[in-house]
Amino acid sequence: MQTTRFGKVEIDDSQVLTLPSGLLGFSNERHFVLLNDEEPESPFQWLHSMDTPDLAFVVMAPTYAYSDYHINLNEDHLRKLEAESADQIQVRCILTMARELSSITINLQGPILLNLEKRIGMQLVIPDGKYNTRHPLFGEQSASSSERKEQDSEKLHGKNKQKAVG
């Protein structure tokens, strides 16, 4: 796959994630790959479109920024994700980047749910008002770096940005 950010990246068909309904505002984009950041310890990943070379979203597991982040999955969510339990689901949230670190935000209201084993995902909209689309990324300091790393160690795979997750 040729990308505008990473150049040519080798992607096996087994690494492609399908989001049958796309993402909000990008309903026609249904095939993505999850690429790791170039820094091995970085919590950031790229959800990169397979169809549009210049479309990629910076994402991360929300518990890196908000250790108490929690969503309730129901049977319908599990069915759509071809999962038997919530343990099979990984969560990523889209970041809005900014020049100032203090201005970077994370969309906690519209998490992306992924079943990496089945290579399927969906975006969930949480309507209850608990979360919004622009939480400050550096808004919580209660979880130490090592705690966040431990909480999400199973969610991050690989060591360089050209390698797809899974």
Domain spans in the chain, listed from the N-terminal domain onward: 2-152
pLDDT of residue 119: 97
Q: Which two tokens stand for residue 126?
A: 């949480």
d(CA 91, CA 112): 6
Q: How does residue 148 score in pLDDT terms, banded at 50, 70 and 90? A: very low
pLDDT value at position 38?
Answer: 80
pLDDT of the residue at 96: 95
- Is 2-152 a domain of CATH 3.30.1490.20? no
pLDDT the model gives residue 105 = 96
Q: Token pair for residue 158?
A: 């690989």
pLDDT band at 150 (very low <50, low <70, confident <90, very high): very low
DSSP states along 41-73: T---EEEEESS-TT-EEEEE-GGGT-TT-----
pLDDT score of 79? 97
pLDDT reported for residue 1: 83
pLDDT band at 139 (very low <50, low <70, confident <90, very high): low
Mapping DSSP to helix (H, G, I), strand (E, B) and coil, where does residue 7 land?
A: strand
